[in-house]
A and B are shown apart, each in its own frame.
Chain A
Amino acid sequence: MLLVTGRTVRQGVASEIGKTGEEYSKNTAVVFLTRNDMELCSLESGDHVVLKTSFGSVVVRCEEGRWGRDGIAFIPYGPWANLICGSDTQGTGMPDYKGIEVTVERTLESPPTQERIARLLRGVQ
């Protein structure tokens, strides 16, 4: 599938309530797929999935997107999305935030919390 990051109103509002809060993680640690794609992957809304790109992997919740296109996985901008985005900008300054090859697989793990992501980035336990 192709991963595309983007904005949603919910994620925007939640970021004002607090980037370290639950509202934000609920609305940002999520990937939207079309119904067809969910059926293909045997997924139901609310399931947790692991998204894997060549840059890394992350666990998020999956939801059926009201809007979408088969073959496109849409994830809101945020720290979860960034864990699987590469930093190569081809000399433009702009990383590859859209159109990244991604695999989607159901998992029993939970999405990392903001604190967990921070510790991961800092390289501490």
Chain B
Amino acid sequence: MRVADVPCVFCGGLCDDLVIDVENNVVRKVVHGCALSQGKFLNHEMNASFPAIRKDGELVRVTLDEAIGEAADILRGAQYPLVYGLSNTETGAIRKCVELAEICGATIDSTSSVCHGPTSLAVHSVGSVRASLGEVKNRADFLIFWGCNPAEAHPRHYTRYSVNPEGLFRRERRERFLTVVDIRETPSNARADMSLVVDQGHDFELLSALRASIKGYGISDTAGIRKQDIEMLAQKMKTCRFGVFFWGLGLTMTSGKDKNIEAAASLVRDLNEYTKFVMTPMRGHFNVTGAGAVLLWQAGYPNSVNFSRGYPVYNPGEFSVSDVLARKEPDCALIVASDPISHLPRAAAEHLARIPTIIIDPKITMTSLIAKVQIPSATAGISAEGSAYRMDGVALRLKKLVSCEYPSDAEILQKIIEEVRG
């Protein structure tokens, strides 16, 4: 069976032109997908999870109902649960996560805390000038990628959305000017018209120098970049017809964090005095934007929400996953569609490994190795339907290509909700 227009479920690019061949309930071929996409779809059966409960240090296989029952018991009896992950599943499941967090008085957070959380902080202060990716494809004649490596993290971005596509007003590559700014050269520099290698940890100063230059102030060499180069870049940005600023974890994770994004957002906003300029964050996971969207519309905030008082309270740094775990506050955790043991700092991961942790995931992950309860689920976008939100906020409907013996995340969460309610 051949299915066309399949949205990919790896990165925030959410390319939806995949053509996938399915045979005997297994994905055999993926056309148009990048290496990451191929990796996900062709390996969807690998390392599959199974229902299990850790007894005396070892994971023991149980029935799905038993695993769900144990999870519900843990959550029902908890003083302060943590619900975390959300980014690698479909929107319906995320809604269930919020519902469950509210029932349990939990703290709920998505992986955005350790990704583009600082971007939200900047939106709270400065706002952001954005456009959907088709605007980039159709109009952009100036592109700047700052602190991100799309060649490795969003491999089809250049071709599909930004540098190479044939758009309404930009037909050829040569009509676009590509600048890459990073602390080191990466494969993303390969086709750049201009590359700046900035001193690690000094992006804020460089962004500020650019702002100053754009506004006509004198500047000096900054962050390892010569004054002439900064001034040239500023000029190019000011005189383009439609510029786009993309950024990634090189800005959100680096010293300054949200202040870096504020500087970038202010830069883009200031440029609108002279020309049309927008920005789009390079979101990592395929539905991390959706996780943010749901948390915003149900709870008012993009991440780091606490329900202990019976209503949403927001405080990044207090209720963000790393902090709350490092301070050893939660007494249990429900991990959905994420692998925190693989990506949280040691102190946080340690606490997670020492409290009863429930993991709902189609695969065995690092978090499975420390989990108290392991619950397998169908894979959103491969064996379960739903919706997902692209990095620019566009929502697409995912497809179910194969069937799975296990229910979807949403169905499992619904069962847990019913059992917790009793």
A and B touch in the complex (CB under 8 A): yes
Chain A residues in the interface with B (C-beta under 8 A): 2, 4-9, 12-21, 55-56, 67-69, 71-72, 74, 77-79, 82-99, 114-115, 117-118, 121-124
Question: Which residues of chain B are near A86, meaning CB under 8 Å?
Answer: 345, 347
Known A-B contacts A6-B149, A20-B47, A94-B118; the reply to A82 vs B343 at CB < 8 A is: yes
Across the interface, A121 reaches (CB within 8 A) one of B184, B322, B349, namely B349
Does A121 lie within 8 Å of B346, measured CB to CB?
yes
**Residue B365, interface by CB 8 Å:** yes
Question: Which residues of chain B are near A55, meaning CB under 8 Å?
Answer: 345-347
Chain A interface helix/strand/loop/mixed:
loop
Give the distance to chain B from A64, nearest Cβ to Cβ, in Å. 13
Give the distance to chain A from B129, nearest Cβ to Cβ, in Å. 22
Across the interface, B36 reaches (CB within 8 A) one of A12, A21, A56, A68, namely A12
Cα-based distance from A79 to B365 in the complex (angstroms): 11
Q: List 15 A-B contacts (CB under 8 A).
A: A2-B201, A6-B149, A7-B153, A8-B152, A17-B43, A20-B369, A56-B346, A68-B184, A82-B346, A87-B348, A93-B113, A93-B323, A94-B252, A115-B369, A118-B370
Does B39 lie within 8 Å of A17, measured CB to CB?
yes
Known A-B contacts A17-B47, A87-B348, A122-B353; the reply to A93 vs B317 at CB < 8 A is: yes
Question: Which residues of chain B are near A92, meaning CB under 8 Å?
Answer: 117-118, 121, 257-258, 316-317, 320
**Residue B280, interface by CB 8 Å:** no
Number of interface residues of B (CB under 8 A): 70
Question: Which residues of chain B are near A124, meaning CB under 8 Å?
Answer: 57
Q: Which 10 A-B pairs have the closest CB atoms?
A: A93-B320, A18-B47, A13-B39, A91-B317, A118-B369, A87-B326, A121-B353, A93-B316, A69-B184, A87-B347
**Residue B200, interface by CB 8 Å:** yes
Chain B residue nearest to A124 (CB atoms) is B57
Cα-based distance from A85 to B253 in the complex (angstroms): 12
**Residue B220, interface by CB 8 Å:** no
**Residue B255, interface by CB 8 Å:** yes
Cα-based distance from A5 to B36 in the complex (angstroms): 19
Question: Which residues of chain B are near A121, meaning CB under 8 Å?
Answer: 341, 346, 349-350, 352-354, 370
Contacting residues of chain B (314-343) with chain A, CB-CB under 8 angstroms: 316-318, 320-323, 325-326, 339, 341-343
Does B316 lie within 8 Å of A98, measured CB to CB?
no
Question: Which residues of chain A are near B57, meaning CB under 8 Å?
Answer: 124
Chain B residue nearest to A117 (CB atoms) is B366
Chain B residue nearest to A119 (CB atoms) is B369
**Residue B304, interface by CB 8 Å:** yes
Does B317 lie within 8 Å of A89, measured CB to CB?
yes
Question: Which residues of chain B are near A74, meaning CB under 8 Å?
Answer: 184
Question: Which residues of chain A are near B320, meaning CB under 8 Å?
Answer: 89, 92-94
CB-defined interface of B161-185 with A at 8 Å, one 1/0 digit per residue? 0000000000000000000000111
Chain B residue nearest to A71 (CB atoms) is B200
